[in-house]
Amino acid sequence: MKILACNSNRPLAEAIAEYLTMSLTKASIRRFSDMEVFVEISENVRGEDVFVIQSTCYPANDNLMELLVTLDALRRGSARRITAVIPYFGYARQDRKSGPRTPISAKLVANLITTAGADRVVTLDLHSGQIQGFFDIPVDNLYGAPVFTNDIRARYDNVMIISPDVGGVVRARAIASRIEADLAIIDKRRERAGVSEVMNIIGDVKGRRCILVDDIVDSAGTLCNAAEALRKAGAVSVSAYVTHGVLSGGAVARVTSSPLEELVITDSIPATEAVKMAHNIRQITIAPLMAESIQRISEERSVSSLFD
């Protein structure tokens, strides 16, 4: 087994390799003067089981192209099996036609990854489960719930898990059942992309410590509006656990000035300086979870039993 890291999230790749007591495969992934991606793998990979770690986060197109070129290099280097480990799967929110003459970009990206040479994909908390069906190769969609539940148990009691929208109920219920907590739902209406309006809270949150659970936080408008609505409804405190901290534009400033006591994100996307400086944003690692899944895939053992 070999582990190769592209450039988007090298700290996570190094943490995964350290957990597995391995060294990262030596490779050079650089740009020509016109910003073309060039990949050169410095070790023999013939007949090897290779795992390529690359989050397709900002800049999404550059990081996606790095992944594709690296997969092609490994395929041409005669690797026995190539697994694309994508902690954050970019373009996942474009998983259906949202209107006339619009693309399903998640399917396009799935085709590109498969064509480039991936034999398998490992990812974390896909925006929607049906994206697994966009691939014609095996996909292991890992869940951040075990990482979150351990952290919640260690820090909170008398909590109530909140889904910030109807679409996230299954995710929130999974965490609520693990920690034997009550569940509430926020009914919102999204007028346009990136803007949301909280309408109703389904459930009694008065006197409770509320924890919002979601898969992606981008502009943070939904989370901040939800936190305000929950506090107005009588919640003692409001925190949030979100797997992928995209946090684009003025999201960090929005979170720091919101009623959110704490926003907890994973290191599926590397933290920016603004995130590191924010007083109420904390990052926890998914390296052990990703490393354990890589080990099990390499040894042909069950990955799903990780979540039993």
The catalytic residues are 188
Given the DSSP bridges, would you call strands 209-217 and 159-163 parallel, antiparallel or unpaired?
parallel
Using alpha carbons only, give the angle 201, 204, 207 rounded to the nearest 5 degrees: 120
Residue identified by tokens 């090298």 is: 10
Q: What is the greatest pairwise CA distance in the chain?
A: 61
Q: Which of 126, 83, 141 is nearest to 307 (CA)?
A: 141
Give the integer Cα–Cα distance in Å for 276 and 256: 12
3-class DSSP state of 145: helix
Spell out the SS3 assignment of 61-124.
Answer: HHHHHHHHHHHHHHHHCCCCEEEEEECCCCCCCCCCCCCCCCCCHHHHHHHHHHHHCCCEEEEE
CB 41 within 8 A of CB 74: yes
Residue type, 119: D
